[in-house]
Structure 1
Amino acid sequence: MRFGPVPVSDATGLITAHSLRSHGTTLRKGSTITREVVAALAADGVSEIVAVSLEGDDVGEDAAAGRLAAALAGPHLRIEEAFTGRCNLFATTAGVLVIDRTGIDAINGVDEAVTVATLHPFKPVADGEMVATVKIIPYAVPGATLARACAEAGGEAVLRVAPYRRARVGVVSTRLPALKDATIDKTLRVLAERLKPTGAGIVAETRVAHTAGGVAAGLSEVIDGAGADCAIVFGASAIADRRDVIPMGIQRAGGTVDHLGMPVDPGNLLLLGTRGDVPLIGAPGCARSPKENGFDWILHRLLADLPVARADIVSLGVGGLLMEIVSRPQPRAGGEPEEGGDD
């Protein structure tokens, strides 16, 4: 690609590099310069214009952006028509955005002319939400450069949306004398609102004694009895150890505890488990709040039927420090946390 000043008389068919206004003539950057424009500029006394001309295997910015977008886009994404070297990608369903970060980094590393920007990995997205944009910086790129960028996308999708698949949520709430029914009622309302964007709903809820036996019975009721495909246990007291009530109740119900604890605050005291093919969450206290916390990060992945392994959880520490919850004492500042508090 050539870029620089050229005589107006030689500019027909070239691309204008910058917007130009001269008396009655307006030429937007990136426009193809026609004979009529050349004549008008010459009549206005303009002798030179900064223009772009393509060479050899150069691919124009719009075509290049569209080709790269097509190479990296996976299921449940819509590619918008490219304009000014930009091609945007949109979700076609509600779900969780899945990104191969290595692939995106590799594409961005091919050449400074080629860029891809995305939302954060595993972000919940709505139908119609923009999730990524491809931008070609100059007006064209060599075909070989574009080919390398497209090749970095590999044979598999670098970018896709995992639709929400689990829709039947069962809730077990344990009770202690200090926990009011009104608190449980509010927790269920908050959860129902949290689930709305996913299309899921609470199909069963039960309130049991804060004992391992109570938790086991509650899980059996919502899973075996009501057919929940995801179950959440809200404890009257926070989980302090794998030998605590909720983990022991999950095991007694025939489930397994896969991981306890998470480097996300609020959300440290989350438990992840399974019973058969049903994922289980021992909710941290902060899950009673409508504010975003670590519980949201795990819940959305599970509802999209994305596996969550120990490695996935321990990788959340960078960026895992969220807002402080003002309704509790400040343990980060040395205050005493409440029993069953917001962690």
Structure 2
Amino acid sequence: MRFGPVATRDSAGLIAAHTVRAEGASLKKGRPIPPEEALRLAESGIAEILAVRLDPGDVGEDEAAARLARHLAGAGLRPERPFTGRCNLVAEAAGVFVAEPDRIDAVNAVDEAITVATLPAFRPVAAGEMVATIKIIPYAVASAPLERALASAAEPPMRLAPYRLTRIGVVSTLLPGLKSATVTKTLRVLAERLAPTGARIVTETRVRHEAGAVAAAIAGAAAEGAELVVVFGASAIADRRDVIPAGLEAAGGRVEQFGMPVDPGNLLLLGALGAVPVIGAPGCARSPKENGFDFVLHRLLAGLPVTRADIVRLGVGGLLTEIPLRGQPRSGGDGE
């Protein structure tokens, strides 16, 4: 691709590098220059303009962006019509955006003319939401770097994991001093959290803050068809031997991880009863503000596995906006 000044009279068929307007004539940036417009501009006194001439093998910006977008889009992602060297990818359904940063980095490293920008990996998205944009920086790119970019991603490095789990069971433990209004509000906040995913609360139980009662409630929720169980403790989980993990194990379940490097959300417990995931929710999950509970909940609802290694990787970016109403804020002071 050659970029530079050319005589206006000789510019027909080239690409206008900038928008040019004169009396009775105009050129639009990035568009081919019609012969009649070149003549009108020359007759208006504009002797020279900046234009782009493509070399053999060059691929126009829209075609290159569209080719790369189609190649990078995995299941559940749809490329939109390219424009001005840009092609956006949108989600075809509500779900969790899954991306492989190393492979996207490899595409971006090929040539400065080729760029791919995405949402953070594992971001919840709505149907129709843009998750990535592929932008070709100049008006065209040589075929060689474009082919290298395509080859650097042998498999699509991004996809959508649609939400799959829809039936949620909730267990709330009770202690003197915990207001029923707090439990009611917690259920409302959770229902609002679930609404964009298509999931709903199908069973809700309130029991004493004792391991035996928790065990019976978790088992009961699973028996009633809950695909995921969330346990809200009247007191935050303080240890793997505390009431909620003890109750899960007494029900025949297992504790897979306690604690996570996300704040608010440190005191989350992740486990399962058979194939049913169980979350011991941290206190901040009672708030509608984003917290570590969201990071785990959405992945599980989308049928994505959440391992200890996944949780460990949440540390970078895991310092979230403080929730002032939680029991023990970062700044210290009186708290649970």
TM-score category of the 2 structures, normalised to the smaller one = over 0.9
Q: Is the 8 A contact 2:212 2:250 kept in 1?
A: yes
| Matches of 1:97 and 1:65, distance apart in 2 | 20
Bigger mean CA offset, 303-312 vs 36-45: 36-45
* Structure-2 separation of matches of 1:328 and 1:135: 42
Matched AA of 1:244: D
> What is the SS of the residue equivalent to 2:319?
coil
Q: Does 1:144 align with 2:144?
A: yes
Q: Which amino acid aligns with 2:240?
A: R
How far apart in 1 are the matches of 2:94 and 2:331? 39
Q: Post-superposition shift, 1:330?
A: 6.0
For 2:268, give the aligned amino acid. Answer: L
Structure 1: how far apart are the matches of 2:228 and 2:144?
48
- Aligned pairs for 1:289-328 within 5 A: 289-328=287-326
* 2:58 counterpart letter in structure 1: D
Distance 1:248 1:167 in 2: 26
Cα deviation, residue 329, structure 1: 6.5
Q: CA deviation at 1:24?
A: 1.9
2:135 aligned with 1:135 = yes
Structure 2 distance, partners of 1:95, 1:305, is 10
2:110 corresponding residue in structure 1: 110
SS of corresponding position for 2:330? helix
Amino acid at match of 2:265: G
Q: Which runs of 5+ in 2 are unaligned?
A: none
Q: Aligned to 1:333, what secondary structure does the other structure show?
A: coil
Shift of 1:327: 2.2
**Partner Cα separation in structure 2 for residue 271 and residue 328 of structure 1:** 17
Quote the Cα distance in structure 2 between the aligned partners of 1:331 and 1:181: 23
In the alignment, the residues of structure 2 paired with residue 93 and residue 185 of structure 1 have an alpha-carbon distance, to the nearest angstrom, of 30
- Deviation, structure 1 residue 23: 1.8
Offset of residue 316 of structure 1: 0.9
Deviation at 1:317, TM superposition (A): 1.1
Q: Paired residue for 2:16?
A: 16
Shift of 1:333: 2.5
Equivalents in 1 of 2:139, 2:158: separation in Å? 25
Q: In the alignment, which residue of structure 1 is the partner of 2:38?
A: 38
Cα pair 2:68 2:134 within 8 Å, conserved: yes
Corresponding pairs, count: 336
For residues 112 and 141 of structure 2, the distance between their equivalents in structure 1, rounded to whole angstroms, comes to 10
Q: CA separation in 1, counterparts of 2:50 and 2:108?
A: 28
Deviation at 1:157?
2.1
Structure 1 residue 263 and structure 2 residue 261: aligned? yes
Structure 1 residue 232 corresponds to structure 2 residue 225: no
Amino acid at match of 2:293: F
Separation (CA, whole Å) in 2 of partners of 1:267 and 1:328? 10
TM-aligned CA deviation for residue 76 of structure 1 = 1.0
- State the Cα distance separating 1:42 from its structure 2 match: 1.5
RMSD, aligned CA: 1.1
Q: Tell me which residue corresponds to 2:194.
A: 195
Deviation at 1:208, TM superposition (A): 1.2
What TM-score, normalized by structure 1, do the two folds share? 0.96
- Paired residue for 1:341? none
CA contact (8 A) 2:163 2:198 kept: yes
Note the alpha carbon deviations across 1:5-51, whole angstroms, 9 max, x for none.
Answer: 11122211100101111222111111101110121011112211111
Aligned to 1:253: 251
Give unpaired runs (5+ residues) of structure 1.
339-343
Q: 3-state DSSP class of the match of 2:178?
A: coil
Equivalent position amino acid for 2:91 in 1: A
* Matched AA of 2:317: G
SS in structure 2 of the partner of residue 218 of structure 1: helix
The whole-number CA distance in structure 2 between the counterparts of 1:43 and 1:122 is: 57
Query: 3-state SS of the aligned residue for 1:144?
Result: helix
Distance 1:178 1:329 in 2: 14
| Letter of the structure 1 residue corresponding to residue 205 of structure 2 | T
How far residue 328 of structure 1 moved from its aligned partner, in angstroms, is 4.4
Distance 1:228 1:147 in 2: 48
Q: 2 CA distance for matches of 1:30 and 1:146?
A: 19
Following TM superposition, by how much is the alpha carbon of 1:306 offset from its aligned partner in structure 2, in angstroms?
Answer: 0.4
Residue 332 of structure 1 aligns to a residue whose secondary structure is: coil
Identity of aligned residues (%): 65
Query: 5 Å matches for 1:275-294?
Result: 275-294=273-292
